[in-house]
Amino acid sequence: MNYDALLWLSFGGPEGPDDVMPFLENVTRGRGVPPERLAEVAEHYHHFDGVSPINRLNREAIAAVERELAEQGVELPVYFGNRNWHPMVEDTVKRMAADGVKRALVFATSAYGGYSACRQYDEDILRARAAVGEKAPQLVKLRQFFDHPLFVEANADAVRAAYEQVGDRDTRLVFVAHSVPTAADAASGPPEEGGHRYSRQVAEASRLVAEQLGVETYDVVWQSRSGSPHVPWLEPDIVDHIEALHGDGVRAVVCCPIGFVSDHLEVIWDLDNEAAEKAEELGMGFARSATPNSDPRFAQLVVELVREQTEGAAVRKLSTLTTGGDTANGAPCATRCCEPARRPATAGAQNA
Ligand SMILES: CC1=C(CCC(=O)O)c2cc3nc(cc4[nH]c(cc5[nH]c(cc1n2)c(C)c5CCC(=O)O)c(CCC(=O)O)c4C)C(CCC(=O)O)=C3C
Ligand SMILES: [Fe+2]
């Protein structure tokens, strides 16, 4: 085997009240997020005593992957590092170097392309290797998996369970992913592909899940809009959409957070709280499907992606859309792929 470790690379989240502001400052540094928005998001975290479940969920996922690796006889120690909170990826890669790791695979906890979902993880890899210097291990990132059969099946089964919760009503299936600025979506993927790789992949994953369920009518909407109000982001927002569905006579919503792999704060606050509350206020049924992290197929998926690299296992994907994100040492996967937005270029936003 030509790899000697697996690095689990994620977003990170606070683990106590004193972590909240420094974490949010890490996330938003230089990104034009207004202080009002920051204060509002800090409140969301304080509802949970300043603890995001994301680090715990990542640790659980890593334990499941370690078991799966052992079961399949793959010897690969797993390390955990984050972009925005401890364990910070710089520290983790330092530790990997000290342990003598030379060449590691990297699993980033997002299924999609796009700047925030993919290329920013390459920037994390670059930063971490630069912080370690000469001894830094080679870091090879695993591909995007939005259309992997195990990802689609785990979501489809979770949606089935959510349907059972709302019962036999006139129900609409609504897929949700994290909103991004429309300019960031337009710039996602290599330019020759025509952009919008992020929203196209989200739409395709949603289509695949709906197809597996035999559901013909469904919607794809967005959540957790941030940034300056002057900058356009992908719409509609899930909460507004629930209101619109109510106006159309829909009586219940099954919401599938297709854009995320675990029940972290943006899921448990923006969906389980805000969206659920809106539905309740309107007298609508509401259920949210579980994210793949809680499904044994997620660990199997990660190990399958590892084996694609270590032993040329078959690349399983259900769509014909391009799958990028497989990169070495933080280089982008194609020229100009998912370039970060040039900040003040967008409509009238001085600060964005
Ligand atoms: C596409 C995408 C994903 C999915 C891909 C992936 O999973 O990587 C994602 C995941 C997440 N986003 C998260 C949290 C936050 N995102 C923020 C801000 C932003 N997200 C953006 C995009 C995305 N974000 C963008 C374009 C911004 C604006 C600032 C910027 O241009 O970068 C902010 C700042 C405050 C605010 O919301 O205004 C917070 C706190 C958490 C952790 C939750 C927890 O703690 O449990 C997770 C997993
Ligand atoms: Fe985010």
Any idea what the CATH number is for the domain that residue 209 is in?
3.40.50.1400
| Structural domain boundaries enclosing 33 | 5-145+294-345
> pLDDT at residue 345 above 50?
no
Q: Are residues 244 and 339 in the same domain?
A: no
Q: Under a CB-based contact definition with an 8 Å cutoff, are residues 287 and 165 in contact?
A: yes
Q: What tokens does 350 get?
A: 């001085």
For residue 352, tell me if it sits in a domain: no
Handedness of CA 295, 297, 303, 305 (dihedral sign): negative
The Cα 193–Cα 214 span in angstroms is: 30
Q: What tokens does 184 get?
A: 């960031």
Q: Are residues 88 and 15 in the same domain?
A: yes
CA dihedral 87, 148, 263, 201 (to 10 degrees): 100
Arithmetic mean of pLDDT, 181-191: 96
Question: Nearest Cα to 311, choosing from 156, 105, 116?
Answer: 105
Q: Under a CB-based contact definition with an 8 Å cutoff, are residues 13 and 88 in contact?
A: no
- The pLDDT of residue 343 is 56
Q: Who wins on pLDDT, 335 or 69?
A: 69
**CB crowding 110-138: b at 16 or more within 10 Å, else e:** bbbbbbbbbbbbbebbebbbeebeeebbe
Band (pLDDT 50/70/90 cuts) for residue 16 is very high
Q: Whose CA is nearest to atom 5 of ligand 1?
A: 117
- The pLDDT of residue 169 is 86
Q: Are residues 176 and 135 in the same domain?
A: no
- Ligand approaching nearest to the C-alpha of 263: 1
- Ligand approaching nearest to the C-alpha of 177: 1
Question: Nearest Cα to 255, choosing from 318, 233, 245, 41?
Answer: 245
Band (pLDDT 50/70/90 cuts) for residue 246 is very high
Band (pLDDT 50/70/90 cuts) for residue 1 is low
Q: Under a CB-based contact definition with an 8 Å cutoff, are residues 121 and 321 in contact?
A: no
> pLDDT at residue 344 above 60?
no
Of 28-42, 87-101, 197-211, the range with the lowest mean pLDDT is 28-42
Last-in-domain residue among 292, 311, 336 = 292
Arithmetic mean of pLDDT, 132-146: 98
**CB crowding 237-249: b at 16 or more within 10 Å, else e:** bbbebbeebbeee
Arithmetic mean of pLDDT, 163-191: 96
Number of domains composing the chain: 2
pTM of this structure: 0.96
For residue 136, tell me if it sits in a domain: yes
Which run of H or E residues covers position 254?
strand 252-256
Q: Are residues 271 and 181 in the same domain?
A: yes
Arithmetic mean of pLDDT, 102-123: 98
Q: Is the CB of 267 under 6 A from ligand 1?
A: no
Last-in-domain residue among 269, 292, 315 = 292
- The pLDDT of residue 347 is 38
Question: Nearest Cα to 158, choosing from 289, 287, 255, 254?
Answer: 289
> pLDDT at residue 239 above 70?
yes
Arithmetic mean of pLDDT, 130-148: 98
Residue 51 DSSP one-character state: B
Q: Are residues 286 and 300 in the same domain?
A: no
Mutational test site, ligand 1, from 178, 202, 291, 338, max ligand atoms within 8 Å of CB: 178
> pLDDT at residue 61 above 90?
yes
Band (pLDDT 50/70/90 cuts) for residue 341 is confident
The Cα 296–Cα 24 span in angstroms is: 31
Arithmetic mean of pLDDT, 239-266: 98
Q: Whose CA is nearest to atom 25 of ligand 1?
A: 180
Q: Are residues 57 and 18 in the same domain?
A: yes
CA dihedral 306, 117, 292, 171 (to 10 degrees): -150
The Cα 7–Cα 296 span in angstroms is: 19
For residue 260, tell me if it sits in a domain: yes
> pLDDT at residue 348 above 50?
no
Q: Are residues 21 and 106 in the same domain?
A: yes
Ligand 2 centroid from CA 224, angstroms: 7
Question: Mind listing the pLDDT tens digit for each residue in 255-269?
Answer: 999 999 999 999 999
Q: Are residues 331 and 263 in the same domain?
A: no
Q: Are residues 108 and 162 in the same domain?
A: no
